[in-house]
Amino acid sequence: MTDDHRLDLTDARVDVLTVTFQTTIGFSNGTTVQFETEFAITGRDGERRIVDPGQKATLAPVLALPGDTVTNATLDGADLRVDFASGTVLQAWPDESYESWNHHGAGPEPRMIIAMPGGGLAVVDPPATSD
């Protein structure tokens, strides 16, 4: 584990959405963010909508994300904020009982960042390779 909380999302375009009992957003750079509990999407209209991956009727705001590009992605503790070129803002926060979201990095040394139950982050480095 490490204290590096870098998000590999800036300038990445939303390419893939996967909806099961979780909602996963796949980006053009190979990075993914998966949501297991409620998160919010504020559209260009300024309306904030709560999305619950377990309630399919709430997923409509997510359907507007494909093709949009991330302009900024930040963490404040385990609170995630992703700003898109369209003006849309996605926000996620810790859940008291469950891992609420996770970020899987891309590239030769991808990290995984997990929002832990009750708050806090776990950052998992890729396995060490022997040369």
- Model pLDDT for residues 21-50, shown as the tens digit of each residue: 999 999 999 999 999 999 999 999 999 999
Q: Which residues contact 77 (CB under 8 A, 6 or more apart)?
A: 94, 119, 120, 121
Query: Given a cut of 70, is residue 75 above it in pLDDT?
Result: yes
Q: What is the pLDDT of residue 129?
A: 63
Q: What is the pLDDT of residue 82?
A: 97
* Reported pTM: 0.90
Query: Given a cut of 80, is residue 1 above it in pLDDT?
Result: no
* C-alpha R_g of the chain: 14
User: What is the rounded average pLDDT for all residues in the chain?
Assistant: 91
The backbone torsions φ and ψ at residue 3, rounded to the nearest 5 degrees and listed phi first, read -95, 5
Residue 89: band (very low, low, confident or very high) from pLDDT cuts 50, 70, 90: very high
Query: Given a cut of 60, is residue 2 above it in pLDDT?
Result: no
Distances, alpha carbon 88 to alpha carbons 41, 81, 99, in Å: 7, 11, 24
Q: What is the pLDDT of residue 95?
A: 97
Query: Given a cut of 90, is residue 108 above it in pLDDT?
Result: no
Are 34 and 27 in contact by the 8 Å Cβ rule? The answer is no
Q: What is the pLDDT of residue 5?
A: 65
CA triplet 114, 22, 85: central angle to 5 degrees? 75
